[in-house]
Structure 1
Amino acid sequence: MKITAIETLRTEEFANVIWVRVHTDGELIGLGETFYGAGAVEAHIHETLAARLLGRDPLRIEAIHRDMLNLPMAQSSTGVEYRAASAIDIALWDVFGKVCGQPVHQMLGGLCRDRQRIYNTCAGTRYVRSSNIRPVSNWSLETKGRYEDLDAFMNRADALAEDLLASGISAMKIWPFDPAAQENEGLFITAAQMKAAVAPFEKIRKAVGDRMEIMVELHSLWNLPTAKQIARVLEDYQPTWYEDPIRMNSPQALAEFARATDVWVTASETLGSRYPHKDMLDRDAVHVVMADLCWTGGLTEGRKIAALAETYHRPFAPHDCIGPVGFVAAVHMSFSQPNTLIQESVRAFYNGWYNELVTTMPEIRDGYVYPMQEPGLGVELTPSVFERPDLMVRRSEA
């Protein structure tokens, strides 16, 4: 079998999502995806990677993965090179599963559990949907609708927690400190801003007590002293973890933060490859290892990051707040890794715009996601995607 063509697809409406389809002479097509800077990713795939991949055996996944990242500019980041390689890698695993007639989680070693617990990232239906994904201004806040969870956590966190529990979801992630971070450039937080940001935690605990786990997303927006200040204040509300409290470029600084709190530190979707993760683990800077498969090297690198975390006796928690194919890939990864703690999910997405783009979603009920059983990833782009007037397709052929 050989790779005969590499095709990329993106749209104006979902400006940051880009899909890759790897065509083979066996008539199988693998589907992959990444997110952010879709035009730059498209250029790298066709102008740099295509010549290295066309004509090769798509089942030599490890060798192809190494060659895609054996470039001077691809050095353990989540930049264009890693995002492009991630999308192609996911597509190659999709091909592998289709060749063998097995789901990707089976190709990765098989199920480690029959169902996987999820948490709900409380985004709204238009969150990250546009090309503007800067903190706060990207929120595209909607106030009406069944799953407008971003507006809900900022204004009705108690009702939101009760609604999630009623559906069986007992863990939620919120980020009410972002507005203050943007206003003050992450340098300090005022007493009034602290009070406003803490209000959702007070409402949740008053409404549902400790029946709801609360994950705190800090989006790497704060300097170290202020992040420590926030952590001390929030400890009274017993959050499950603090995620990316500072920029993920200093293991020493993150280790100092971790020593200043008894709450777990989770890091990070922003780290590319296992090497920076090892730097964090060596410094005892992280308790839960998080990776986004669409940014960090795909399934090939993702399973190495999960194995590295297990070596340090740390749980693994795949990131997802981007596109539908990435979510499906993360679910396959979650099931195949023995140390997966919990899978991120966004009900505003999997009940919303994901269904405009792909044929199916994993079954999610009562706070758990269930394994997909179709060969490969088990998901394809909907026919309507190919009919969109804003669709942009580029193809490289052997």
Structure 2
Amino acid sequence: MKIKDIRASLHTTSIEIPLIEGKVAGYGREEQKLFVFCEVETDEGIVGCGLTGHFLAHSVVAALEKHFLPVVKDMDPRDVEAIHQRVFKTLNPRAMTGTVSMALSCLDIALWDIQGKQANRTVAQLLGGNKTRAPAYVTFGFPQYDRDQLAEAARLHVENGFRALKTVVGVDKGGWREDAARVRAIREAVGDGIDIMMDANYLFSPVEAKLLCRAVEDCHITWFEEPLYQNDARALADLRRATGIPLAAGQMEGHRWRLRELVEHQAVDILQPNCTYCGGYTETRKVAHLAQIYNLPIANGGGWPLFNMHSMAGLMNGWLVEWHLGMVSVGETIFVDPPSPENGTLSIPDAPGLGLTIDRDGLKTTRVAS
């Protein structure tokens, strides 16, 4: 089997957030408007699809079609190690991240989709087949909510079967004190039996993060995700020693060496490789094995649950899938009847590969000029 073509396209969407009138641009934040979708076609007629997020999205489309295709054309899509080696040697000998990592992620996901379709196995099975289901948490705590709406939305998602909720912090004008009040409002709304996570998306200084941790220690937070500027591994390790709240990070890191830095500095309790950003399933598997050696779980951060659910189910130390409402909306638009959680748990589709059927009308309506 040989790779014959890569077709990449740029798309945009908006979402509806419960309890908020009107639609929100992107996946819940104004700057998250774009995503890249690609299809990889083989000479045997098997086509796989992949996806990556919004960072420098125009560049990712050009990279896939103008740079990656000439490098990998006529290679066997099942030879993922050889493909990654050629990409590193030809396009990325200095192991840079950014556009090249996201393009590689998009391509690699499609290659695993092809492998699964050819072998009649799911991607989760190809990764190791540890289980067929994965628990999910819902990212719902968008900054558009006031405190009362946040509490009401939290109760709504618990009523819908979720046992774990994540809220955004680090963006409110009231600073860490308002964040603490919002987290406390969620805890009071849902009681003690529900997991609560906080996600700062790199936006706190070490001092602010410590102050927030101290203010919510008694709320029994399951993890504090990417609290610090630049995912600074040294500063994360310092914060981890200063708080009893578990720290999680790694969702946007572009390859295993950046994620290794978090492990070596003992900077995190939970490692978060995201296949749509870190180099696809090929790189995610290596990161998961690294984490296993250090007895660390991996959990999905950075969204795109329809892809990352395979990592969480297939790999031995896979844990929670992020049911991010923004990325869920994208999946419901571009795929036909995609899987959704039942009682807070996602089941891997029985169909081979990713188990997803493309909605051509949805792709067409979301497409923008690249």
Q: TM-score, normalising length from structure 1?
A: 0.82
Trace 1:368-387 onto structure 2 (pairs within 5 A). 368-385=345-362, 387=364
SS at match of 1:30: strand
Q: 1:389 to 1:364 in 2, by over 3 A?
A: closer
CA contact (8 A) 1:69 1:82 kept: no
Match of 2:110, as an amino acid? A
Counterpart among 159, 166, 171 of residue 173 in structure 1? 166
Aligned to 1:344: 322
Q: Does residue 303 of structure 1 match 2:285?
A: yes
* Cα separation, 1, equivalents of 2:12 and 2:150: 33
Trace 1:254-293 onto structure 2 (pairs within 5 A). 254-293=236-275
Q: C-alpha deviations, 1:149-193, integer Å up to 9, x for none?
A: 65447442322222222112111111233124xxxxxxxxxxx64
CA contact (8 A) 2:231 2:249 kept: no
Report which stretch shifted further, 326-335 or 80-89.
326-335
Q: CA deviation at 1:201?
A: 2.1
Trace 1:1-398 onto structure 2 (pairs within 5 A). 1-11=1-11, 13=13, 16-36=34-54, 37-71=56-90, 73=92, 75-110=94-129, 112-122=130-140, 151-152=144-145, 154-180=147-173, 193-321=175-303, 326-347=304-325, 349-350=327-328, 352-385=329-362, 387-388=364-365, 390-392=367-369
Q: 1:387 to 1:280 in 2, by over 3 A?
A: closer
**Consecutive unaligned residues in structure 2, runs of 5 or more:** 14-25, 27-32
CA contact (8 A) 2:305 2:327 kept: no
Q: 1:99 to 1:7 in 2, by over 3 A?
A: same
Q: CA deviation at 1:220?
A: 0.7
CA contact (8 A) 2:35 2:51 kept: yes
Q: 1:276 to 1:353 in 2, by over 3 A?
A: closer
CA contact (8 A) 1:269 1:292 kept: yes
* Cα separation, 2, equivalents of 1:245 and 1:308: 22
* Cα separation, 2, equivalents of 1:74 and 1:197: 42
Q: CA deviation at 1:50?
A: 1.2
* Cα separation, 2, equivalents of 1:75 and 1:289: 24
CA contact (8 A) 2:9 2:367 kept: no
**Consecutive unaligned residues in structure 1, runs of 5 or more:** 124-148, 181-191, 394-398
Q: CA deviation at 1:297?
A: 0.4
SS at match of 2:192: helix
Q: 1:218 to 1:363 in 2, by over 3 A?
A: closer
CA contact (8 A) 1:76 1:271 kept: no
Q: TM-score, normalising length from structure 2?
A: 0.88
* Cα separation, 2, equivalents of 1:376 and 1:178: 38
Q: CA deviation at 1:320?
A: 3.9
CA contact (8 A) 1:156 1:200 kept: no
Q: 1:387 to 1:249 in 2, by over 3 A?
A: closer
Q: 1:154 to 1:16 in 2, by over 3 A?
A: farther
Using CA pairs under 8 Å that are at least 6 residues apart, name the structure with larger relative contact order, 1 or 2.
Answer: 1
* Cα separation, 2, equivalents of 1:371 and 1:292: 17
SS at match of 2:229: coil
Q: 1:74 to 1:386 in 2, by over 3 A?
A: same
Q: CA deviation at 1:248?
A: 3.7
SS at match of 2:172: helix
Aligned to 1:136: none
Q: CA deviation at 1:361?
A: 1.4
SS at match of 1:216: strand
SS at match of 2:161: coil
Match of 1:235, as an amino acid? E
Q: CA deviation at 1:69?
A: 2.6
